[in-house]
Each structure stands twice: as structure tokens, then as C-alpha cells.
Amino acid sequence: MLATKTDRVPTGAQWLHEVKWDGVRVLVDVRDGAVRMTSRNDNDVTLAWPDLSDAPLGGRDLLVDGEVIALNERGVPDFRVLQHRMHVRNAREVARLVTSVPATLMVFDLLRLDGEDLTARPLEERRALLEELPLATSKWQVPAAYDDGDMLFDATLQQGLEGVVSKRRGSRYRFDVRSDDWRKLAHRHRGSFVVGGWRPQVGTTDRLASLLVGEPTADGLLYRGRVGSGIAGATSARLAALLAPLGSSTNPFADEVPRVDARGTFWVEPRVVVDIDTHGSGYDRLRQPSFQGVRDDLSPEDLS
């Protein structure tokens, strides 16, 4: 179940409010003590998170929805930190990263318990059952829910957290649905965009220095700007390897790309989604954009 963007925290007794975590969404299915973790696009990501893959309740059967997070140097959840782990599948490298980039699973919904499907129950009942489970001693945590959304919004802003998710107490859980029963409000001006091309570093032909990104709309992929900040070293190499198989002779943007940006650009098929931080929102062009990471848990269709 996915949250709908909002421009204000909803008020009223029918709403519960939670911290919006800056991490990677996962469903975690535990059967007979075996844990299987899947991403938003239904990829098995269990191997990437061995430190989260011990069944916290032994052989009890359960299915939970949550977010994998990792903390930055300020002790704040940061999606960029997870970039070092989320694409790694080599067992030796994963084992090293478990120590250097420890992860935590923030469990915010309980969908099945001891074989019983709970998705048709109201959220407040699912939360009550979840909070009764003895998860606090594991790498899984159950974050608090709050009645006062405005208070939580101010507190998360002061603490440097991403924002607030508000959920109707009586809402049932619906898989793969973006529902108005869940609403999200982020503090940072961060958005997800689709890569349509890349520019090499001056004096080279293969060293990726910047991305050309766009926003999917009813009129096609509209150009939103060129992003170079945050792309260097290993990040540049990873992006180059990711985009290499998607090379195209066709410009994928539906509107005009300024000549200064189009010159020397290598076009790619618009399949890769990235997160970009920008100064201000509501502009046709990104202002002082900064690359934050690849969102392989999102597809271009998710942004439409």
C-alpha cells in the first residue's frame, strides 16, 4: 500500500501519524522460520540484508510491511547511506557492509500473523497486534504512531527527519495500491525523476559526469534539468555501468532540451529512476540539483 502526496498534515481523530523514513520499502514474509524480503517491484532482496533476515519470532508465521534504514554520520536515516548496500549481492562484500553500514528494519504494518490474513482489519487493530509482538530486542523495530500530526511534523523537521506519513485508523491494507487513506508530507525538496541521458566529463568520452532527467507526464517525459552534483568516483562508475545497456539513438524527452545540455549527451532508454534533491519546488527546471541515489524500487510508471 502506497501513500499519496499531500501539502498539509491531515487533522482529526481518524488519523494516526508516523515518521516518514528515508529508506527502502520491503515486504518481509516469514514462514517456518525462513525470511524472504521483497522490494516494491517484487524482487527478492533477502541476500542484501542478512542482518535483518533472522526470524525474530522463531517459527511463527507473519508478513510485515516496513522500511530498511541506515543512519548517516549525524545519526539520521539517510537513503544515500543505503546506496552502499542495496545493490550488493556478493556474500563477502555484503558481510563487510553489515558491519560498516548496519541496517534496521522499521516495521509499521502487520499483514499476516500465525496464518491469519489481517489486511481487511482496520489499521488501528493491525497496529495494536504489531505493538504486542516482542520485536524490540531484534534488528526489527516498531516505530511509534502519534495522534498529533502537527507536533510530529514540527519534531521531524527539527530532528532532520524526512517527514510524516498520516494514515486513517480505519483503513484496510491493499497491496500495490496508492491510497488516499495514507498521505505523505516530506520536509525536503526531494523528488524522483527518470534518466533520459548522460554527459561525459569534459575531455573524456566514457566518464559519466552528469545526468539529464525528466518527469513522466500525460504529455510524455518532460525535461527537468541536468544533474552533476553528487556524481563522482564510484557513483559515476556505478551509474555508467547501469546505463550502458540502455543506450539509444533517440532523445526520449517529449519537449525541447536546451542545446547547452543536449550537446555531447548520450541518450538512454527512460527506465532508470533516481532521487534528486533540489533548492525549491514547483519550477520547470531543477534548481541547484544534487544526485541522491538510484531508486531500483521504483519504475517510471510509479511516477506517473
196 and 152 co-located in one domain: no
> In this structure, is residue 263 part of a structural domain?
yes
194 and 298 co-located in one domain: yes
Q: Point out the catalytic residue in the list 5, 20, 167, 184.
A: 20
Domain enclosing residue 138, as ranges: 2-177
Q: Residue 283's pLDDT is what? A: 59
> In this structure, is residue 182 part of a structural domain?
no
167 and 201 co-located in one domain: no
202 and 146 co-located in one domain: no
141 and 198 co-located in one domain: no
Q: Residue 72's pLDDT is what? A: 83
> In this structure, is residue 146 part of a structural domain?
yes
221 and 287 co-located in one domain: yes
Please report which residue ranges of 87-166 form alpha helices under DSSP H: 91-100, 123-132, 149-159
In this structure, what CATH number is given to the domain that contains residue 220? 2.40.50.140
For 97, 234, 294, the CA distances from 200, given in Å and listed in that order, are 30, 15, 18
> In this structure, is residue 212 part of a structural domain?
yes
195 and 233 co-located in one domain: yes
pTM value surpassing 0.75: no
Q: Collapsing DSSP states into helix, strand and coil, what is residue 3?
A: strand
Residue-wise pLDDT tens digits, 74-106? 788 888 788 778 878 788 888 888 888 899 999
92 and 202 co-located in one domain: no
142 and 261 co-located in one domain: no
User: Which among 153, 177, 201 is the end of a domain?
Assistant: 177
Residue 104 · residue 141 · CB < 8 Å: yes
Give me 29's grid cell: 514474509
Give me 200's grid cell: 561525459
> In this structure, is residue 184 part of a structural domain?
no
Q: How many domains does the chain have?
A: 2
Sign of dihedral through CA atoms 261, 269, 236, 52?
positive
Q: Residue 282's pLDDT is what? A: 57
Nearest-CA neighbor of 20 among 57, 82, 80, 69?
69
Q: Residue 17's pLDDT is what? A: 98
155 and 12 co-located in one domain: yes
> In this structure, is residue 119 part of a structural domain?
yes
Is 20 a known active-site residue?
A: yes
Q: Residue 186's pLDDT is what? A: 85
129 and 198 co-located in one domain: no
Backbone angles phi, psi at 181, to 5 degrees: -75, -20
- CA 69 – CA 49 distance, rounded (Å): 11
Beta-sheet pairing, 24-31 with 15-20: unpaired
User: Which among 150, 177, 204 is the end of a domain?
Assistant: 177
Q: Which residues of the chain fall below pLDDT 50?
A: none
In this structure, what CATH number is given to the domain that contains residue 63? 3.30.470.30
> In this structure, is residue 256 part of a structural domain?
yes
136 and 281 co-located in one domain: no
> In this structure, is residue 52 part of a structural domain?
yes
